[in-house]
A and B are shown apart, each in its own frame.
Chain A
Amino acid sequence: MASETKKRTRQRDQVEEQGVPAEGAVVNGQDLEIPPRIEVKHVFTNYQAGKYGHKDVGLSEEQVLGMYRNMLLQRRFEERAAQMYGKQKIAGFLHLYIGQEAVSTGAAQAIRIGHDSVITAYRDHGIGLALGMTADECMAELFGKIDGCSRGKGGSMHYFKAEKRFFGGHGIVGAHVPVGTGIAFAHKYREDGGVCLTFLGDGAMGQGAVHEAFNLAALYELPVIFIIENNQYAMGTAIDRAFAETVFIKHAISNNMEAAMVNGMDVFAVCKAIQDHAELARRFKPSILEIRTYRYRGHSMSDPGKYRTKEELERKKQEDPIIRLKAYIRQHEIASNEDLDRIDEEVKEEVMRAVEFAENSPLPPLETIYEDVYTQEDYPFLA
């Protein structure tokens, strides 16, 4: 990895910038002289809503419409999935992403899909669809059918798509964050210029694995962006009930990383933030983005969400990312209302076709239960 000398120098520089003289500063753990005062001053650059338009992030009007279409696809897909869950066509846990679509879409737009890598937690439908996974394979996976993206073995929490370099879909809170760090490690090792977007929820910030991953990424200077989708609630626990520090990007300071706060209801703010931080990552500066967002539904389908008020929910819905983008498109005369309605109709039809596809896809043949455990084909399973 980077030479020790270089790293030490960098740390010393930072200490100096922060107002403590390098001489006597704690640099290598062997110096017993205690500085008179340690100050940490840090101002984060934040990505506000309304600050960036499509031209600021280098998008054509066509691309803007594509993003609008994709956000709607995520929303309609999940609305229909919720309905299918109610009809017991879908089992297990179903964590919906509704309200957070600007995060997935803005992020996917900012990277080179198929070259850069993405990993996320259990609220993964939106990111999968944003990366270009088909509604068919995604719905079939929810139905537990053989044509699902994970052959019916993953379900809602475990979408994967190797060709999109989408590494899942992970169900243990925070456990995938070191894995994302390792994916980034391999990008650097192979010098292929790739970065890994590692999404996590605010609840994961309580997990040791996440903080270990932060340290390793910064220590080894890995091309990774840790994207905290802060939707304010870890299941039913509001973040201020679970965390002594609720401004999560402050953890960047103790790990010598860059960080920024992003309005997750504005797809252009997300896109710009990820573009900027992907550039940092490509220069081996890992970073933390805290994206403030909101989920409209309960934690999962079994959660009525009684821990928050109707007023709060209604207030947040005023910031809806899709409505916001729609207003932008109208304001900039990128498309007419009729055009946008037509997109919505197309998306609804696409989702209906996906439901039909999932219905008609066969259940996995029983012999597939022994497939995909090992690469070894003659593995002697106990019968």
Chain B
Amino acid sequence: MHSDMAELQFREAIRAAMVEEMERDENIFLMGEEVAQYNGAYKVSEGMLDRFGPKRVIDTPISENGFAGLGIGAALNGLRPIIEFMTFNFSFVAFDQLINNAAKIRYMSGGQFKLPIVFRGPNGAAGQLGATHSTSTESIYATIPGLKVVAPSNPDDAKGLLKSAIRDDDPVIFLESEVMYGLRGEVSDEPDYLIPLGKARIAREGEDVTIVAHSKSYWIALRVADRLAEEGYSAEVIDPRTLRPLDIDTIVASIKKTNRCVIIDESNPYASISSEIAYQIQDRAFDYLDAPIRRITAKDVPAPYAKNLMEYYMPQEDDAYEACKQVMYAG
């Protein structure tokens, strides 16, 4: 695939992207809770304090509203901050900064300022953490013009997309996941390994049904495609990777080929990324659809704690499999 590849964990790929970019551009700094002396709550920034020193790898108090806003001001004034939220659930404390400041200052100033800033950290559910620590935030941020939203599903994409996000002159919400941090995969070593924002990846080609899935859900899609393959059906799996801007053209092209679509999205279903993708498909490719679009999401409730309820809450591989069979009228 690439000339130089190394096998890295997802967290190491994120770190590699930050380290390479910080070595390239001294205006980039990393700030967040426990990113420096503690080496990162999930060890994403391990060793970075030693490497770059306390000027560029900065611990903050538990003060999301404050340090998110500080990052925005620093970006307005010529720096390129990477702001880590320990989890994106805590980004809601800084919601006003992201929505009212990061997303809108460029517009309200008539384009006088740019805001090259990345807000990153784990998003979504990770086991039995209870409702306040399990929110999938992608549709919430993707609904706001002025923000870009990226959600990679594997280490190689994580590195290439994060490097692009850091170099992008617009504010980017970069969504990771606690449960993916240990995921291993081949990652490019090329110094300028950039995956463009807004380009989907056709992870697996197929003819019979299109499965669209990002982040953790992508792995459900792959397992479903494997099961379908055993039965002689070929599923095309598309990982959008960037949720805003969304590469709808790649998705629509796939629908025109397969005429059927299932979307897997671990967000709550109401007004979610899956809602948007489904709408855009019917807007652009209604005549090509041979069956209604189905989606598999989290349940329409806050995340529960109890093990069985939590497992039931998350999008289910079996449901996705059944949905694919259903849209193919395959029993």
Q: What 0/1 pattern do residues 43 to 58 of A give for CB contact below 8 A with B?
A: 0000000000000000
Whether a CB of chain A sits under 8 angstroms from the CB of B78 is yes
State the CA gap A213–B73 with chains docked (Å): 11
Whether a CB of chain A sits under 8 angstroms from the CB of B61 is yes
Residue pair B100, A380 in contact (C-beta under 8 Å): no
Residue pair B108, A160 in contact (C-beta under 8 Å): yes
Residue pair B198, A179 in contact (C-beta under 8 Å): no
Closest CB in chain B relative to A216 CB, distance in Å: 5
Which residues of chain B are near A382, meaning CB under 8 Å? Answer: 280
Binds A, one of B63-71, B184-192, B200-208, B308-316: B63-71
Q: Which residue of chain B has the shortest Cβ distance to A3 in the bound complex?
A: B54
Q: What 0/1 pattern do residues 362 to 383 of A give for CB contact below 8 A with B?
A: 0000000001111110011110
State the CA gap A212–B69 with chains docked (Å): 10
Whether a CB of chain B sits under 8 angstroms from the CB of A126 is no
Whether a CB of chain B sits under 8 angstroms from the CB of A42 is no
State the CA gap A153–B233 with chains docked (Å): 52
Interface bin, chain B: 35 or more
Residue pair B110, A154 in contact (C-beta under 8 Å): yes
Whether a CB of chain B sits under 8 angstroms from the CB of A275 is no
Whether a CB of chain A sits under 8 angstroms from the CB of B32 is no
Q: Which residue of chain B has the shortest Cβ distance to A189 in the bound complex?
A: B79
Whether a CB of chain B sits under 8 angstroms from the CB of A161 is yes
Whether a CB of chain A sits under 8 angstroms from the CB of B251 is no
Residue pair A186, B146 in contact (C-beta under 8 Å): no
Closest CB in chain A relative to B206 CB, distance in Å: 26
Q: Which residue of chain A has the shortest Cβ distance to B68 in the bound complex?
A: A178
Binds A, one of B111-119, B151-159, B267-275: B111-119
Contact partner, B61, options A119, A148, A168, A219, Cβ 8 Å:
A219
State the CA gap A178–B106 with chains docked (Å): 17
Q: What 0/1 pattern do residues 97 to 114 of B give for CB contact below 8 A with A?
A: 100110001111111111
Which residues of chain A are near B96, meaning CB under 8 Å? Answer: 172, 175, 209
Lowest 5 CB-CB distances: which A-B pairs, in order?
Answer: A182-B73, A178-B69, A212-B66, A151-B110, A372-B111
- Please give 18 more A-B residue pairs, beta carbons under 8 A apart, in addition to A178-B68, A185-B77, A373-B106: A1-B55, A153-B109, A154-B108, A154-B109, A158-B108, A162-B112, A169-B109, A172-B100, A175-B69, A175-B96, A175-B100, A179-B73, A182-B75, A183-B76, A209-B65, A213-B66, A215-B63, A380-B246
Give the interface of B toward A (CB within 8 A): 27, 29, 54-55, 58, 60-61, 63, 65-79, 81, 96-97, 100-101, 105-114, 145-146, 148, 168-170, 198, 245-246, 248, 280
Question: Can you report 20 residue pairs joining A to B where beta carbons are below 8 Å apart?
Answer: A149-B110, A152-B110, A158-B109, A169-B109, A170-B101, A178-B65, A178-B70, A179-B97, A180-B73, A182-B75, A185-B79, A186-B73, A186-B76, A209-B96, A212-B63, A213-B70, A215-B63, A216-B66, A379-B245, A381-B145
